[in-house]
Amino acid sequence: MRRDIFQAIADPTRRAIIALIALQAMTPNAIAENFNTTRQAISKHLRILTECELVKQTSQGREIYYALEIDKMKEIDQWLEKYRKIWETRFDQLDHILATIKKQKK
């Protein structure tokens, strides 16, 4: 079953993994040290993130390192951009209403 990136980022553990490897590539064991869960659970999360192409694997000797796939993160950001504009417009409208109410109370 092919998952999409939004299914991948829906899980808080996977979002935390993304935050960790955004700073530097890490091995599964190094990632697992940051969580109160089993190494197998972290491997499952990494497999899902890899299937969705949010992370990439590279081998260095016997170790596998996971790193963030920036282009896929840009895809999420582009999708969110249209909603960000709507939210900003609504916040601007709310600021205007609050300023009007504040003036009326004076």
Number of domains in the chain: 2
Q: Are residues 64 and 75 in the same domain?
A: no
Whether residue 32 is found in the same domain as residue 75: no
Q: What is the pTM of this model?
A: 0.76
* Cα separations in angstroms, 41 against 38, 47, 66, 72: 5, 10, 15, 23
Same domain, 11 and 40: yes
57 and 84 in a single domain? The answer is: no
For the segment 55-87, what is each residue's pLDDT rounded down to a tens digit?
A: 999 999 999 999 999 888 888 888 888 888 899
Query: Are residues 11 and 55 both part of a single domain?
Result: yes
Tell me the per-residue pLDDT of 24-48, one tens digit each, with 9 for 90 and over: 999 999 999 999 999 999 999 999 9
The per-residue pLDDT for 76 is 87
Domain extent, residue 27, equals 1-68
